[in-house]
Amino acid sequence: MAECDMNTENSTGRRESTLAGKLFRNLPYKIVILLGAGIFLAGLGASMWGFIAAGLYILYGLVGSLWIILFLCPYCRRYGSRSCPSGYGLISARLRKRRDFGRFAEKFKKHIPVIVPLWFIPPIAGIIIEIIHFDWLLLVLLVVFAIDAFIILPMSSKKHSCKTCPQRNECPWMKDKKEVT
Ligand code: SF4
C-alpha cells in the first residue's frame, strides 16, 4: 500500500493516519494473534484443549491491546490524535484522561513487557509439541509466525509508525536506532 494512501494532511498541514492506514498497520499484529491461535489448534488438534488454548491466546492478544490503550497511550503525544498510526490513541482518549508526556519512556518500559509473551508463547508451545509429535502443518505455521512476528511486524512499525512518531527520541525502543532520526 502506498504511503500516501495511509496518511493524509489536514487543513493545518498536519499528517493524519487514514482508516486504510490504521487497518494496514494493525494487520501484522492481528496476523500474529491468529497464527498463534492456529499453532495451538494445529498442535493440540480440534480438541477441547486446542480450542481453550487458542481462545485464551486470542483473549490475551485483545487484553494486550487494551492494556496499551489504557496504560501507555495516555502518556503519548499522539493520544487523542488522528496521527496515531494504529488508532489506539483515539480509543484511549475516550477511555482515559491525558497524562504527562514526559513519563512516556518510563511507562513504555513498564507496560510493553505485558505483551511481550505473545511473541514467545506460541513458538515455545509449538516447538515442544513438535518434539513430542512432529506435524508438517504445525511446522509451516511456526515458520510463518516467526516471519510475521519477528521480521514483518518490527519492520512495519519502524517504517510506517516509529519513523514519524513525535516521541521517537524518548522511546526506549527507538532512541538507540541511528537510522530513525
Ligand atoms: S502512537 Fe502508539 S503509544 Fe502513541 S497513542 Fe498511538 S498506539 Fe498509543
Domain extents in the chain: 14-164
pLDDT category, 181, cuts 50, 70, 90?
very low
Residue of the CA atom closest to atom 1 of ligand 1: 84
Q: Are 45 and 132 in contact (CB under 8 A)?
A: no
pLDDT category, 177, cuts 50, 70, 90?
low
3-state secondary structure at position 45: coil
Q: Is the pLDDT of residue 179 over 50?
A: no
Report CA dihedral (55, 121, 128, 28) to the nearest 10 degrees: 80
Higher pLDDT, 3 or 131: 131
pLDDT category, 149, cuts 50, 70, 90?
very high
Helix (H) or strand (E) holding 9: strand 7-9
Higher pLDDT, 99 or 13: 99
Residue of the CA atom closest to atom 5 of ligand 1: 89
DSSP 149: I
Ligand 1 centroid – CA 165 distance (Å): 9
Q: What is the pLDDT of residue 180?
A: 39
Ligand 1 centroid – CA 25 distance (Å): 12
Q: Which residues have any ligand 1 atom within 6 Å of their CB?
A: 72-73, 76, 78-79, 84, 86, 88-89, 165
Query: For residue range 13-70, what is the model confidence (pLDDT) as tens digits?
Result: 666 778 888 888 899 999 999 999 999 999 998 899 999 999 999 999 999 999 999 9
Closest ligand 1 atom, CA of 108?
3
Average pLDDT of the residues in 130-146: 97
Mean pLDDT of the chain: 88
Ligand 1 centroid – CA 12 distance (Å): 21
Cell 487497518 found at: 23
pLDDT category, 172, cuts 50, 70, 90?
low
Ligand 1 centroid – CA 92 distance (Å): 9
Q: Is the pLDDT of residue 173 over 90?
A: no
Q: Is the pLDDT of residue 12 over 90?
A: no
Ligand 1 centroid – CA 62 distance (Å): 16
